[in-house]
Chains A and B, each alone.
Chain A
């Protein structure tokens, strides 16, 4: 019997199965590579670019790069941390992210990854786009100011819920999340809090009504331990401070 193939990630041997990506194999081996648009329950998207690693010297997204035997993968090196910080800073200035005023602060993947990569300030000039808040739905609010275009709600609604409620429209810096109804209002859809789409947002863009501040600041998911230890908010159950329904 031959040994399972493996690659090296920051000096550590990571076994993989045929067809696995660098990200999937690392995750299975319990090694954290920061990410936002990646969620193990969905096909890789490759758009946020936070999970960039060096594969045999070349910068590539870990979530879309197929694992191959003998690959030399680097992740926790200063060169990549600097790039990741830059990408996080871009996401922060592109939208309107006011952490102290956000219900998700402390249990927000965007915020937790920013801390993880060592981002202390947005650095770039804020775009301050004019975006809206949609509170038309009885049970949920969408705050478009906080959307980072990861398309996880789009994918979850289409692939898991079978509802196709969300879409990303427009081009370039004008790309934006929309609700797929003539009015563009969530209240006009059959969106429900039990939907997968309600559980996957890595930011505070999709929030449930009537559940504000149930867990006090200071006791939230990432308040005591960093995301590489705790894991993604979308992968953790509500009872553990995550978004996932049990």
Chain B
């Protein structure tokens, strides 16, 4: 008769606490600690992180105190009011509307859409890529044909058409419409890594240990491509700010009366505005540049940290 494992060793329950204690002292730092250390040593990334978080919190909270319909009413007396006066810190536009307030509410709208878009499209893209890459064969074939179909659609044109025909059109539906078209890049990127990763022996070992396919995908493989996921997500967040902004700039973004970074930049359509009334578009443009730069610095620090933990 085969002996059981407890009969072969000296270790029993009485040693458990002591040995656990010993092991804890020797434990390797966790992922969170490694990231914290990376940010502490990387001043630029830390500054960027603080800047982005405080800015996002500021615009979300400040926007709650601004009455948007009242702000957006035209006031002919303040036509192109100059900046740095006591009523308008950043001046006013052709409708006499405060640029500073529009910037706050517009940033809130643009950033919230970008966050929503990133969360939905990245989650979808990651799941699509991982399932397609892991199962391979017929599943992969079908899923990749869907991908191909989505890729050949003229994205911008389709979005513009959908935006003009749907009855209820607000920032939520806009986010959902954009999400349908922005998951493909992520899915292809993730799929290529999962294809390589799922051939490794630890996946085979998990299978022989009786772990289910879904658990293998999301608990075994996903941590191993976390650096790719984090970097891709931060960069696509920066990109997604541009998506909504670009669409609003073209006039197909958020409905009229809802300010966004794109509508503010659209002021630059007018050559008069570019030369004379610079305050109508410059703050929004600067904000986007700084925000995207800061996000990419954060992404870089994340990549360093995840690479360090994956060595």
Bind each other: no
Which residues of A are at the interface with B, using a C-beta cutoff of 8 A?
none
